[in-house]
Structure 1
């Protein structure tokens, strides 16, 4: 979730308090409470983009957390309302750094939604427009550290996806600069700090810097010990380091959080248990690995939503391959 806060709120302690409270609820996965807070913002600050954009952010966070389909019309409607309000703000105050920041945030949400739906061209186009607005915001106010994560994320993944073209003179690699910008938000941001920490942990895993990813995920868990995003990142970082017992401990924490949550998490449970089975197999504990494989295969009775069926089927095939490998002492063939 990209968190935002505007000029109208920078001098208004009431809006400031609401924004912080809503962000806190979102990081605790208390989405209903977060939405209620931002509904109050919409009511008390009807011309400000914060309320509608934050409500859209809550929906996006829930979709990503629960692996839902990105077809929520309310998300699109709220994002568009927030964008229109940010655009009107800029028309009235062209040099408003926060107006440009909110516009960049709205465009960033649209970009992410398009990419999630595999509308790649539209997603990239909106991402570029979002970055332009974030750059403009920082040009107008260099202390707006919360804008840096949007720019840095784009820089890193653009460089990552085009690394095979970096030998060309007109194609640059801004990944290091991107990481530095995200670090700036993680260290100095107020509203986007935890977002930046999570984004950076994912990037460090992608870059093979697993200890750095572990450190950031652990830092996030110190403030939000039941945050599922940080738990996934923490377990993955440990697993990549070959610290399988510790990874299992984190997966067990995650499974406990999943099972005690009131929402549907069967696909997340499937992935979590399969990862635990792999970790036990890596520790040569075939009995505990088989326990988790059996738990995974029992989920074949679950009717997964259409957008998750192929992914679930792939995981079941991986589980059966791991089971065969344990029985024969060979490497699993996925």
Structure 2
């Protein structure tokens, strides 16, 4: 998994904050906004956070979560995020957080605000291939989460972020564990995640999503599937989870994986003005599964549909260049096997 995806997992986990804001109205607006985000009602979610920003202008939360909605929406639709707008939101949030932190550095929530902002900043640096800066901001985010735990050991959301960080840091430095200052904390990371998920969260889906991808990385596919199935029907329509769930099923039940990918494809096919990025990715994944199950004609048809798409924009071409080349190779392979 690329560094920027690890950072995305880290920052996304911060949305599932399991504490209750002292102000009931703030708590209610955040709860509604995150719920609408998870069910992909981005317009309503933005409305919730717009009210939060306007009503509580001194708090950075409205700006932070508005940025989160823009990021999630772009990721869901396979579109390029509005970097300038999101950076402005995060800069404004950082200015507000600085004022609050300097006035009350011992306040748990002021450390939390900085943890969120640094996490999102890390994402944008990674998105622009500035990995050194991204890593530095990621570490800064973690340090603020550690401050949260130092101030309140029951701040469960911090365990969520730290769990993800510890797991993926250890995963990416596994070959260096012989060094005295490098520890393998993958099991600790999983333990932290499970600990956080035992407690009530505004949006436990995000912790579930993180644990799901960890189990997939460890090739423990049944555990990954069970994480979702044990959550009940609460997140059954969440597309972010469906992508991960289908990935897990690829290894143990290809027909089930194909079925889930088609559910996603049916949504994106109906989406007005779609740029075809998700369509291409999904059809390629399904074609590869059809090839593995011996359904060569179905696989070939999907390859032809992908390669027949015209007027792809520059963002899609840039992001899918290597995948489109693999589609070409798969088509040639399928043609020679007929």
Give the TM-score normalised by the residue count of structure 1: 0.90
CA distance in 2, matches of 1:261, 1:181: 38
CA distance in 2, matches of 1:197, 1:292: 32
| 1:100, distance to aligned residue in structure 2 (A) | 0.8
8 Å contact from structure 1 (residues 235, 250) kept in 2: yes
CA distance in 1, matches of 2:249, 2:127: 27
2:263 equivalent to 1:244 = no
When the two chains are superposed, the root-mean-square deviation of aligned CA atoms in Å is: 2.2
Higher relative contact order (CA 8 A, sep 6+): 2
Q: Deviations over 1:30-80 (max 9, x none)?
A: 212211110100111111121111111111212322333355211111112
Q: Which residue of 2 aligns with 1:302?
A: 311
CA 1:275–1:36 in 2, change beyond 3 Å: closer, same or farther?
same
Number of residues of Structure 1 aligned to a counterpart in Structure 2: 326
Q: Deviations over 1:206-238 (max 9, x none)?
A: 221212222234456822333221111011000
Contiguous gaps of at least 5 residues in structure 2: 1-11
CA 1:48–1:29 in 2, change beyond 3 Å: closer, same or farther?
same
1:235 to 212, 236, 246: 246
Q: Secondary structure at the match of 1:188?
A: coil
- Aligned counterparts, 1:50-89, within 5 A: 50-70=61-81, 72-89=83-100
Q: Which residue of 2 aligns with 1:196?
A: 207
Q: Secondary structure at the match of 1:101?
A: helix
2:320 equivalent to 1:320 = no
Contiguous gaps of at least 5 residues in structure 1: none
- Aligned counterparts, 1:203-222, within 5 A: 203-218=214-229, 222=233
Q: Which residue of 1 aligns with 2:116?
A: 105
CA distance in 1, matches of 2:196, 2:304: 43
Q: Could you tell which deviates more after superposition, 171-180 or 243-252? A: 171-180
CA 1:96–1:132 in 2, change beyond 3 Å: closer, same or farther?
same
CA 1:209–1:75 in 2, change beyond 3 Å: closer, same or farther?
same
Q: Which residue of 2 aligns with 1:27?
A: 38
| 1:304, distance to aligned residue in structure 2 (A) | 2.5
CA 1:82–1:218 in 2, change beyond 3 Å: closer, same or farther?
farther
2:148 to 123, 137, 145: 137
Give the TM-score normalised by the residue count of structure 2: 0.89
| 1:265, distance to aligned residue in structure 2 (A) | 4.7
8 Å contact from structure 1 (residues 149, 182) kept in 2: yes
Q: Which residue of 1 aligns with 2:15?
A: 3
CA distance in 1, matches of 2:101, 2:40: 32
Q: Which residue of 2 aligns with 1:286?
A: 296
CA distance in 1, matches of 2:223, 2:273: 31
CA distance in 2, matches of 1:153, 1:4: 13
CA 1:35–1:71 in 2, change beyond 3 Å: closer, same or farther?
closer
CA 1:317–1:93 in 2, change beyond 3 Å: closer, same or farther?
same
8 Å contact from structure 2 (residues 160, 207) kept in 1: yes
1:91 to 97, 102, 121: 102
| 1:312, distance to aligned residue in structure 2 (A) | 2.3
Q: Which residue of 1 aligns with 2:7?
A: none
Q: Which residue of 2 aligns with 1:177?
A: 188
8 Å contact from structure 1 (residues 42, 52) kept in 2: yes
Q: Deviations over 1:86-116 (max 9, x none)?
A: 2322222222112111110110110111112
